[in-house]
Each structure stands twice: as C-alpha cells, then as structure tokens.
Chain A
Amino acid sequence: MSTAITHSTSVRADVRIAALLALVFGFGLVFMTGFAHSSVLHNAAHDTRHSLSFPCH
C-alpha cells in the first residue's frame, strides 16, 4: 500500500517536473520568435511576428 502511494507520488512529481521544463522551454521559444528585441532575431522572425500578430517594430 505504502509503496503504491510512494510510486504514484513520484510519478506525479515526474509529471510536474516535465511539465515545468516544457513550460520554460515553450515560453523561451515564443519569446525568441515573438518578442526578443535583438535586431537579428527581429529581422529573421519579422514576417512571422506580423503574421501571428505579435507586436512588431
């Protein structure tokens, strides 16, 4: 019984860690393509930013 609880708790912690990593990675990507002020990133992603209506220049 107690091993089953420990097991399911560790699975849930595992899910949460994976989800938080995915969240950070996802926001990082969207920030780079959609928001970063670096002019190289802006120029490369320019048409995408307009197309997906991120605020641009």
Chain B
Amino acid sequence: MITRVFAVGLLAGLCAGLIVALLQAFTTTPLIIDAERFEGGHSHQHASAMHEAPFGGAKLYLAHATAGADGDGHSEWAPEDGLERTVYTGVATIGTATGFAFILIAAMLLGGERITQNTALGWGAAAFAAAGLAPAMGLAPELPGMMAEDLFARQQWWIMTAAMSAVGLWLLLRGETGWLRLLAIPVLLAPHLWGAPHPAIEAGASAVPAELAARFAAMSLAVQAVLWALTGFLVGTFWQRIGAASEAEADGR
C-alpha cells in the first residue's frame, strides 16, 4: 500500500508539476518579472534595502529577498535570472504539485473514497476551492512590490482559511445529518468574518499598476485551478494503473 501511495503521488506530482511549470513560464512568471520593475517603489516594506541595491535584474531580486528576518541578505543566494530561475521555479512547482498529490491521496484514503479519475478530479476541485479560492478571497494573489501585511500573519490566516474551508466542504458534502451540513456554513464563513490581515491602503501607495495586479490575480487562480485539476486527474489515472491488481488481491476482492 505504501509503495502504491508513494509511486502514484510522486508520478502524479511530477507530471502535473511539469505541465504547470511550463504553463507558469508563459503566464504568471512574465507578470512577476514585469512587476519587479516597480518593486523599488517608496511603498515597499523593504524599501530601505531596495535603495541600496543596484536597480535591475538579479540584484534587484536579491534585495527583494531580504524579506528574511535577519535583514542582512545582500550576500544571500538567489537563482540568476533566466534559465536558472526558471529551473528553480519548475522544481518548486513540481515539489508543490507532489505535496498536493500526497495530500489528495491521503485525504481520499482517510475519507474512505475510491480513487478513480472522476472522484480524484472532484476532490481536486474541492481542494482548489479550499486552498485556492477561499484564501484568495481574503489575500488576493500578490505581485512583488504590492503592499502587504506582516508575512507571518498572512501565512497564519492562509493556513487557517484553507483548513477551515476543507473541513467546511467536508461537512457540507459528506455530513451525515442536516445539522452537520448546516454547521458547514459558519465554518466556511468564519475566516472571512474574522478577516484577512490587510494594511491600510492609501491612493498611490503601491507602485505596481492595478491593471498588472488584476491580470496576475486572475491568471494565478487559473494556474492553481489547472494544477489541482491535473493533480487530481493524474492521481486517479495512476492509482488505477499502478498496483491495482495486487491491492485487490490483498483486499480479498
């Protein structure tokens, strides 16, 4: 069983990640790089570090990366713009897709679900709603250079929202009684009533053009939707093809 889970998770994550990495190279990454032109603006929370950095290319990116707590990031490693950066982004996307694939398989197994193309695609769609749409309602996909609240606070809200949305969707779709399904509504709404951490926004505070940010937000959500759908579909596909026979035998079916 463990072999099957890991084979399917790694394979589905690798394939979905590769395809989405390719998609990102043509959709979101050009927008991110474009937005970095505006990152040196007065509004950026690391503006002081930015001013010391030569403008443009990898140097700007390095400076931007000083977001770390030590604040002494000028010598820190970052991939060079171009091929190296694309490769690292690809690896990170494959890693994320693999993580998503494992979480999806784990959730379906623990939920007692049969894993097929159709069911895994459905779970992938629900996962996109929980970990893509719901957090984006409070924290819209961000470009470099946009104003944002403290990173840790945003990460906490993101994780809380994804987790509560997942629980809420489970209650809504799998709740055994009407009361459990009704409970889904407050669980789904709570993180949004609580509210995502936002800085006070003043006109002209962010140097990134709104048009660019809007395009990026829509594109990012589409890329996430593709990632979850592909991951689900491939988990279902590989699950049916890898180790299905030996499992059925072990199951006595």
Contacts and interface: CB of A to CB of B under 8 A. Distances in A.
Contacts of B139: 53, 55
Contacts of A14: 1-2
Interface residues of A, number: 44
Most buried by A among B1, B79, B110, B140: B1
Interface in B47-68: 61-62, 64-68
A16 to B, nearest CB: 7
Nearest to A19: B109
A17 B2 contact: yes
Contacts of B91: 44
Interface stretch (B165-173, B174-182, B221-229): B221-229
Interface in A1-43: 4, 7-8, 11, 14-23, 25-30, 32-35, 37-40, 42-43
B101 A32 contact: no
Nearest to A8: B252
Interface residues of B, number: 69
Given A15-B1, A21-B2, A42-B65, A4 B102 contact: no
A35 B28 CA distance: 19
Given A42-B68, A50-B144, A55 B2 contact: no
A12 to B, nearest CB: 9
Contact of A56 (B85, B98, B142): B142
A14 B73 CA distance: 46
Interface in B75-125: 76-79, 85, 88-89, 91-93, 95-96, 98-107, 109-110
Interface of B: 1-2, 4-6, 9, 24, 28-29, 32, 46, 61-62, 64-70, 73, 76-79, 85, 88-89, 91-93, 95-96, 98-107, 109-110, 132, 135-136, 139-144, 148, 151, 154-155, 158-159, 216, 220-221, 223-224, 227, 250-252
Given A18-B1, A22-B103, 5 more contacts: A43-B77, A44-B78, A45-B95, A53-B220, A57-B46
